[in-house]
Chain A
């Protein structure tokens, strides 16, 4: 018998893999039958609301949570802070929770507690862009540095040297389903519906602090309304829901309110940088020197110094970082951390250097691809050529600021990389004697299409329609699977399922071979039938009857280095936009992303992932930011009215081109979820600089920042 090896099939023989497949859980989401954690409403459920701090830095001198218990309908109260020891370090930090029969009664309870609180207000610092003020307030700390080569000598010998200032503001995750859970005790067992990216990894986070066994906790997460890196934990509010449920003897649903979601449940750190970058006469970068600062909240961290410049390693570099301890909500991983900030802080400076050299940005980036990491230079060059053609780069290109009239048009580009290797996954695939197939795994579909691509892999392998396989995920009682972060899910689940399905199929082939007296090696499964070469042997159902009375159960595991999955992806983005120099408004005409990610399982959902990332990128590039008020220390736009996200009419024409030559297909599956969100900041900023002839240094490029930059003038 020939050696049986786990592998993907030849590309031209795929029936489902790589086609445009609509997602299998779309309809339940659309008609509202999909139940998110915020939708769980089992009998007797109490609704909880939160008391949060209205100061940036304070101590609680007095609080009476008993006041809420006198309010009609209130059934349980929870105090987050031990008031003798804890100080509150940001506006919006949690103080207490109230659970009541009805949401409005819980709100009454919150008001009753708020009336009893006395604060000792302490000095705050939230001015994260202002390094000097941070030093003066003794809120700064040196976070590290690195250097290689001789930067001074390289700058001395360079043809062109550019010095510039760039930055990118803090943003929040803004998950539309806020963080939270529904907790229900059944005797000693705790059932938690958790809005999470980490179904298999959160039971212990509930069990240990509650003093119960992890085996007594079940985490369910069938649908999740956005996480973007911020939902891996049980969180103190999850534990509060469980404790109040215990106290009241009733289920409790506690979802963060919108303001608390933005203030407390995760932010992306800011980064501000002073750069000196130099090139030789050819346009090759010879030296990079940078110092950056910013904040990730009270911890005083920021954007990792080790990854700047991004994604390049130039011959001579020197970089250092200062962190600012701010009275702002703590950071959490935000889609591709911290690459969007690294990209925005690097490739804006590089584009200004290109302008100073008098080079077309395209030629400049092409010339410097040799310094990119992970051996991707060749792929980037291919992607640049494809993107340039799609956007009409060479026809539309002009040197900076040459347009006539008040509305100026410009082009910009940037490139990115990400790992995306397969994450841990265990699955249990069952082939029933009647031919039906199902799988169980403790993974989650956070909107990326995980259910759908698992269905595709199983159906393709068994030669069945998508309707012939059933995917069961979203329970911590299923075989353990990794958290969905780092774009590792698609590789994890597809590798494990291909392995399990091929193992199951080979077992079935052996039974068919024996029964029908054919060679097992020559068998294939397609169109619901088993074939020997081109000859039909039996139906899939006939084959499965040979399994016996009990289902065939096969475990799939990953990741493995068997060629089914790989890591490292890259992409190139180009944008064509206009800037109204009278209003400061930026309007995207066309935004192109050419993206590689190895073997693509579902072309439709892959493209959706890219298009969505471009829109998130437009958000943080043009309008979205956390605004802190220096005077009060408060997050003053923590709502969906003043925290500006693009609407459907604001995004322009978006083009996602999946770059999948044979060399990519042959690499196997690589994660795609995060990478396309990395480059928009630099690409859009570069296009604005190309349009108006001056650099708007800090993202997002709001009308005010654009007008301020124009007023200041100067060349980059």
Chain B
């Protein structure tokens, strides 16, 4: 399935429409959200054919591929990927900060593309490879993570995992990035302590090395 089902970071940063997809999903009710899924549509059709009342908001099993491991959780269609990561799986690298797709603290990779996990429903992440900040510590520490350490690109650290994951996707897509490129490409993450200088230095170095 192509990525169009998920808002990418580029859709969400300030230059975007200002429309919060997450609010749409939440506000329009779980049933509508659920019917956007092929699987649920077929279930709905089957239910309609059987003449039974449609009640798709019940919790059901979701199989997810997270950091290379298959995990199954049972959640309602309205539950976000972020809540599943944090509350069901204790993968708390992705943080809940704005909950409205503005700050990037919950950034994860979905098939290599950086997305806000607060704006992705868990059910719609089925069949995609999900990578969280924890995935950067797998076999050997990731080069981007090491660059963040070197350039002191963390203070309180709460925005940091999201920033690192966003940077990981950015440097892979943009070798030899300039400071201006970084300003645009990492504009979807907010830091309150003010670590931007360190993040820029880290992103410059990693981008130069092509993210290796």
List of B residues within 8 angstroms of A609 by Cβ: 155
| B177 CB, min distance to chain A CBs, angstroms | 12
- Chain B residue with the shortest CB-CB distance to A253: B87
Complex CA distance for A604 and B199, rounded to whole angstroms = 14
Complex CA distance for A641 and B145, rounded to whole angstroms = 27
A640 partner, pick from B78, B100, B184, B194, beta carbons under 8 A: B100
B133 partner, pick from A30, A255, A645, beta carbons under 8 A: A30
- Given the contacts A29-B154, A226-B158, A641 and B196 also touching, CB distance less than 8 Å: no
Interface string of B193-210 (1 = CB under 8 A from A): 111111110000000000
Complex CA distance for A425 and B55, rounded to whole angstroms = 59
Contact present for B99 and A32 (CB under 8 Å):
no
Let me know if A605 is at the binding interface, CB within 8 A.
Answer: yes
Complex CA distance for A30 and B105, rounded to whole angstroms = 12
- Chain B residue with the shortest CB-CB distance to A257: B99
B98 partner, pick from A27, A29, A39, A258, beta carbons under 8 A: A258
Contact present for B97 and A258 (CB under 8 Å):
yes
Contact present for A647 and B76 (CB under 8 Å):
no
Contact present for A616 and B192 (CB under 8 Å):
yes
Contact present for B180 and A649 (CB under 8 Å):
yes
| B158 CB, min distance to chain A CBs, angstroms | 3
Interface string of A9-39 (1 = CB under 8 A from B): 0000000000000110111011111111011
List of B residues within 8 angstroms of A328 by Cβ: none
Let me know if B95 is at the binding interface, CB within 8 A.
Answer: yes
- Given the contacts A38-B96, A258-B99, A611-B194, A32 and B149 also touching, CB distance less than 8 Å: no
Contact present for A29 and B157 (CB under 8 Å):
yes
- Given the contacts A27-B141, A226-B156, A615 and B196 also touching, CB distance less than 8 Å: yes
Complex CA distance for A458 and B150, rounded to whole angstroms = 22
Contact present for A30 and B164 (CB under 8 Å):
yes
Complex CA distance for A131 and B179, rounded to whole angstroms = 45
Complex CA distance for A112 and B191, rounded to whole angstroms = 35
Complex CA distance for A257 and B97, rounded to whole angstroms = 8
A23 partner, pick from B75, B94, B152, B182, beta carbons under 8 A: B152
Complex CA distance for A614 and B160, rounded to whole angstroms = 19
- Total number of B residues with any Cβ neighbor in A under 8 Å: 65
| A253 CB, min distance to chain B CBs, angstroms | 9
Contact present for B152 and A641 (CB under 8 Å):
no
List of A residues within 8 angstroms of B188 by Cβ: 647
A31 partner, pick from B158, B159, B161, beta carbons under 8 A: B161
List of A residues within 8 angstroms of B197 by Cβ: 608, 611, 615, 651, 654
Contact present for A647 and B187 (CB under 8 Å):
yes
Interface string of A638-651 (1 = CB under 8 A from B): 01110001111111
Let me know if B92 is at the binding interface, CB within 8 A.
Answer: yes
Let me know if B93 is at the binding interface, CB within 8 A.
Answer: yes
Let me know if A446 is at the binding interface, CB within 8 A.
Answer: yes
Within 8 A of B (CB), among A25-63: 25-27, 29-36, 38-39, 41, 47
Within 8 A of A (CB), among B158-172: 158-161, 164
Contact present for B149 and A174 (CB under 8 Å):
no
- Given the contacts A641-B98, A648-B199, A225 and B133 also touching, CB distance less than 8 Å: no
- Given the contacts A32-B91, A640-B190, A649 and B182 also touching, CB distance less than 8 Å: yes
Contact present for A41 and B94 (CB under 8 Å):
no
Let me know if B34 is at the binding interface, CB within 8 A.
Answer: no
- Given the contacts A608-B152, A641-B100, A648-B186, A30 and B158 also touching, CB distance less than 8 Å: no
| B18 CB, min distance to chain A CBs, angstroms | 8
Contact present for B76 and A26 (CB under 8 Å):
no
Contact present for B102 and A640 (CB under 8 Å):
yes
Interface string of B28-71 (1 = CB under 8 A from A): 00000000000000000000000000000000000000000000
Contact present for A648 and B193 (CB under 8 Å):
no
| A575 CB, min distance to chain B CBs, angstroms | 15
Let me know if B14 is at the binding interface, CB within 8 A.
Answer: yes
Let me know if A224 is at the binding interface, CB within 8 A.
Answer: yes
Contact present for B156 and A27 (CB under 8 Å):
no
Complex CA distance for A448 and B95, rounded to whole angstroms = 20
Contact present for B137 and A614 (CB under 8 Å):
no
- Given the contacts A26-B148, A26-B154, A31-B145, A176 and B133 also touching, CB distance less than 8 Å: no
Within 8 A of A (CB), among B86-115: 86-87, 90-100, 102-103, 105
- Given the contacts A41-B92, A177-B158, A641-B102, A26 and B152 also touching, CB distance less than 8 Å: yes
List of B residues within 8 angstroms of A175 by Cβ: 192
- Given the contacts A30-B136, A608-B155, A639-B100, A104 and B161 also touching, CB distance less than 8 Å: no
A225 partner, pick from B157, B184, B195, beta carbons under 8 A: B157
B137 partner, pick from A31, A35, A255, beta carbons under 8 A: A31
Complex CA distance for A391 and B197, rounded to whole angstroms = 18
| B30 CB, min distance to chain A CBs, angstroms | 9
Complex CA distance for A104 and B180, rounded to whole angstroms = 40
Interface string of A250-266 (1 = CB under 8 A from B): 00000101100000000
Contact present for B98 and A225 (CB under 8 Å):
no
- Chain A residue with the shortest CB-CB distance to B20: A641
| Chain A interfacial positions (CB closer than 8 Å to B) | 22-23, 25-27, 29-36, 38-39, 41, 47, 102-104, 174-177, 223-226, 228, 255, 257-258, 446-448, 604-605, 607-609, 611-616, 639-641, 645-651, 654
26 A–B contacts from the bound complex (CB under 8 Å) = A26-B157, A27-B149, A29-B154, A31-B134, A31-B136, A32-B134, A35-B92, A38-B95, A41-B86, A104-B79, A176-B95, A176-B156, A226-B156, A258-B98, A447-B156, A447-B157, A611-B197, A615-B194, A616-B192, A640-B102, A641-B98, A647-B187, A647-B188, A648-B183, A648-B196, A654-B197
Further pairs besides A224-B156, A226-B193: 10, Cβ < 8 Å: A23-B154, A27-B145, A30-B160, A30-B164, A32-B92, A39-B86, A176-B192, A611-B196, A616-B193, A640-B98
